[in-house]
Structures are given as C-alpha cells and as structure tokens.
C-alpha cells in the first residue's frame, strides 16, 4: 500500500504527533509498505527510508506551522497514494484533506489535539466569553475539515465521544502504542539511572516526576498543591514557554513550606531516547496534570517503566489508568484531591510497587507494531468506504 502522511508536526520537533507519525513509519517500513511524509520545514529529507517533503512554515509559539499552499496538492498528485493519512489536522492538515478530496483520494484523519480547549483557555485571558467563542469557532472548523475525511480516528473513548458530540462524521477509535523496548523496568538497574537518582534524592526523597511540554495548557502549576508533602521532590522533564514561571512558582511553593522545606524542584530540560528512559526510572511516582489530553502517551511510558501514575479523572487518562490498581485518578475540580492522591502514594512504598507492577502488565500488549497493524486495517476500511461512495 502507498500511504501519504500529511502531519502538522515532525522532526526535529518532539511531541506526541511527531512520535506517533515516526512509529507509524517505522512499522510501515517493517511490513513492506511505501510512504511519503509532508511536514512543516525544517525537516529531515528522509525518515525510515521514506522521503520527507518539507513545506514552507512559520514559527508560532515555538512550533513550526506549515502553510497551506498549493504545493501539497502537487506532492500528493505526484506520489499517487492509495490513502492519505492526515495527522492532527488543523492548518497544514486541513489543506491536506482538501487536496485529497479534490484529487479523489481516500483519506484517514487522526484527531489528536484538543485545540478547542487550548483556544478557550488562552482566550479566557481576554474574558470567558472570548474563550467560549474561540472554542466554538474551533469546533466549527474541526467539523468542517474532518467532514472531508472518509474516517476520523480518535485516540481515546473520551475524545471519540467529544468529536461525535460536535458533529464529526464517520469516526472510529485508534489508540497509541508504547515503545516497551525503550521504556522498561530494567533501566532502574542501569548505572546512569542510579547515579541520577542518587543526585536527585540524596536523602532518599520520594521523587515526583512530570514529563511533557511546559506550556499553560499542560497545567503543571497544579503541582503547587503537592509542594508541602514531606520528603518529596519535584523532577520536571521537558521544556516550553512556561519553564521560567513554573520554576519560580514551584520553587516558591516548596520554599514556603512550614518547618524544614523539601529540596527545590529540579528542571532537567528536554530529554529523549535513553536519557528520557533513565529519567522515568529515577522517579517514584509519575504525576500527570493536564486535563485537556486526548490520550496521555507519557502515562503509558511511565507504566512501562513500572511506575504508579496519578492523573486527572478526565479525557484520555480515563482509558489508561485503572483507579486504585495501576494508579490514582484525581478530581481536577477539587483543590485538594491531587495532593491527597500523591501523598497516599508517597507514604506507601508497597502500594507504589503494586500499582507499578499492575500498570506494567496492562501496557505490555500495547506495542506500536500491533497498533499500526490496526491502523492499516483502518486504511483498508477507509479505502473501501471511499470506493463504495464513489460507485
């Protein structure tokens, strides 16, 4: 099968969309398919032996946003794919869907980013009415562009319900895999992991870890409520526009604790590959703060490292965390529930171990190979649906 992938984000940018696209391409290469990637510039010329066509882009909040020019249609026409895969369409992907429709090509759209919630949050700076209006406009745009797809796939049951409630037609569920060859419990015995942990927890502190982009929509400031849990230390992996204010906020919250304060939070910056795996292995508890996640890939990576997780009882984490078994789900509307959940695990090594083991067992079957094979079946379904509607 020949697959053209139009993606809003790609290397060298590292995020959930990029990771998903790369893992799909890896498996397509293994199984003998042919592919081409259309992505914002700058981008590598090839990936996994497949050509990458970089289109003109502009920087927006540290992201490269591909411009929806006519070159996308020309690239699709030249490649003549059997199906077009559009990853998290909004700007570049919207043009990809339009171009595929004009060329009569079957198309699968992957819904991955809750852009309406992000726009509502940022719009609220100018007032709640502005935020709501921005979200409504985003949903109208999403409904319009996804109506061009033969199939739209959501990553979680919560995201699927959301897009269906907003009128997106022809939907299905497609989760995400986890790289268990990289993220695994054995990293805890690695010399580098042990050295990192020793440096971060010199007196045996319980390390509360977060991994992800540091931006307002990730709500990392929720960790402030956990700052006074004794014997703990925040370890933050990631980068983004909120790094400096978060460092100030979390440091002040820890320093203002009554009595002897905990050690100040540590910001390790962006990590990938083995360095990221070592960071997970150094943690005791993984804490996820964002309530606008359509999935929550870092929760799977943490579980694969045998970590108990704490996450909001909202959105993608509802599919990934079995409350009381693999981790704890907190009520994001409560001012104290996150801290209560973290305190419970910080004070119970036995419960941390049991939940980590259960989480590892749960993700052990979620390989990227299995998930991409499911995706290929969705491609075939979309092609059949497209052919039937054209007949």
Q: What angle do CA 373, 160, 223 make, to 5 degrees?
A: 100
Q: What letters, b where the CB count within 10 A reaches 16 and e where it falls short, cover 298-332?
A: bbbbbbbbbbbbbbbbbbbbbbbbeeeebbbbbeb
Closest CA to 187 of 97, 101, 277, 254: 277
| Cα dist from 311 to 2, 180, 218, 303, 329, whole Å | 38, 21, 12, 12, 5
Q: How far apart are CA 303 and CA 220, in angstroms?
A: 20
Locate the domains of the chain by residue range.
Answer: 2-177+367-390, 185-363
Q: What is the pLDDT of residue 175?
A: 95
Alpha carbons 12 and 143: distance in angstroms, whole number: 29
Closest Cα to residue 48, out of 65, 63, 27, 64?
Answer: 27
Instruction: Give 2-177+367-390's CATH code, choosing from 3.40.190.10, 3.40.50.2000, 3.20.20.100, 3.10.350.10.
Output: 3.40.50.2000
Identify the pLDDT of residue 123. 63
Cβ atoms 112, 142 nearer than 8 A: no
DSSP string, 241-252: TTHHHHHHHHHH
| The residue to which tokens 């419990």 are assigned | 185
Helix axes 273-282, 297-304, angle to 10 degrees: 70
Structure tokens at 154: 């959501």
Q: Determine the Cα–Cα distance for residues 23 and 333; give it in Å rounded to an integer.
A: 35
**Which string of DSSP letters, residue by residue, matches 20-41?**
HHHHHHHHHHHTT-EEEEEEES
Q: What per-residue confidence (pLDDT) applies to 118?
A: 76
pLDDT score of 122: 65
Of 191, 218, 216, 194, the closest CA to residue 207 belongs to 194
The mean pLDDT values, 10 residues at a time, for the chain of 391 residues are 97 91 97 97 97 90 79 96 96 95 97 85 68 90 96 97 97 96 96 98 97 94 96 96 96 88 95 96 98 94 98 97 98 98 98 98 93 98 94 72
Residue 127, pLDDT score: 67
Which long-range contacts link 62-65 to residues 24+ away (Cβ below 8 Å)?
A: 62/240, 62/241, 63/9, 63/13, 64/9, 64/13, 64/40, 65/8, 65/40, 65/91, 65/92
This prediction's pTM: 0.90
Pairing between strand 57-60 and 63-66? antiparallel
**Domain 185-363 CATH class label:** alpha beta
How many residues in total does the chain contain? 391
Contacts with 34 (C-beta within 8 Å, 6 or more apart), sequence order? 1, 2, 3, 28, 50
User: Do 2-177+367-390 and 185-363 share a fold?
Assistant: yes
Integer Rg of the chain from CA: 21
**For helices 337-346 and 349-363, angle between their N-to-C axes, nearest 10 degrees:** 100
């Amino acid at each position: 099968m020949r697959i053209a992938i139009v993606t809003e984000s790609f290397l060298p940018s590292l995020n959930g969309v990029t990771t998903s696209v790369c893992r799909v391409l890896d498996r397509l290469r293994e199984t003998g398919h042919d592919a081409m990637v259309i992505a914002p510039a700058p981008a590598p010329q090839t990936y996994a032996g497949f050509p990458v066509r970089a289109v003109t882009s502009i920087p927006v909040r540290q992201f490269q946003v591909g411009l929806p020019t006519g070159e996308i249609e020309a690239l699709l026409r030249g490649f003549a794919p059997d199906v077009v895969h559009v990853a998290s369409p909004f700007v570049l992907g919207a043009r990809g869907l339009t171009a595929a429709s004009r060329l009569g090509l079957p198309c699968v759209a992957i819904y991955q980013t809750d852009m309406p919630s992000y726009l509502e949050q940022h719009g609220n700076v100018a007032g709640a009415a502005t935020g709501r209006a921005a979200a409504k406009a985003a949903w109208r745009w999403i409904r319009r562009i996804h109506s061009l797809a033969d199939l739209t796939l959501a990553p979680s049951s919560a995201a699927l319900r959301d897009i269906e409630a907003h009128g997106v037609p022809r939907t299905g569920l497609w989760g995400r895999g986890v790289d268990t060859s990289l993220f695994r419990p054995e990293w805890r015995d690695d010399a580098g992991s042990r050295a990192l942990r020793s440096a971060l927890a010199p007196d045996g502190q319980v390390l509360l870890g977060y991994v992800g982009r540091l931006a307002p929509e990730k709500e990392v400031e929720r960790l402030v409520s956990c700052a006074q849990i004794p014997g703990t230390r925040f370890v933050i992996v990631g980068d983004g526009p909120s790094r400096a204010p978060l460092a100030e906020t979390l440091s002040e919250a820890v320093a203002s604790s009554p009595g002897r304060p905990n050690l100040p939070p540590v910001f390790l910056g962006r990590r990938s590959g083995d360095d990221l795996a070592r960071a997970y292995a150094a943690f005791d508890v993984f804490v996820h703060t964002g309530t606008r996640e359509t999935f929550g890939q870092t929760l799977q990576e943490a579980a694969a490292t045998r970590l108990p997780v704490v996450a909001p009882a909202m959105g993608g984490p509802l599919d990934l965390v079995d409350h009381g078994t693999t981790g704890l789900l907190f009520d994001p509307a409560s001012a104290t529930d996150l801290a209560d959940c973290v305190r419970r695990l910080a004070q119970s090594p036995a419960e941390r171990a049991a939940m980590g083991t259960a989480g590892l067992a749960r993700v052990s079957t979620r390989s990227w190979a299995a998930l991409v094979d499911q995706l290929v079946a969705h491609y075939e379904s979309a092609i059949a649906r497209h052919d039937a509607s054209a007949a």
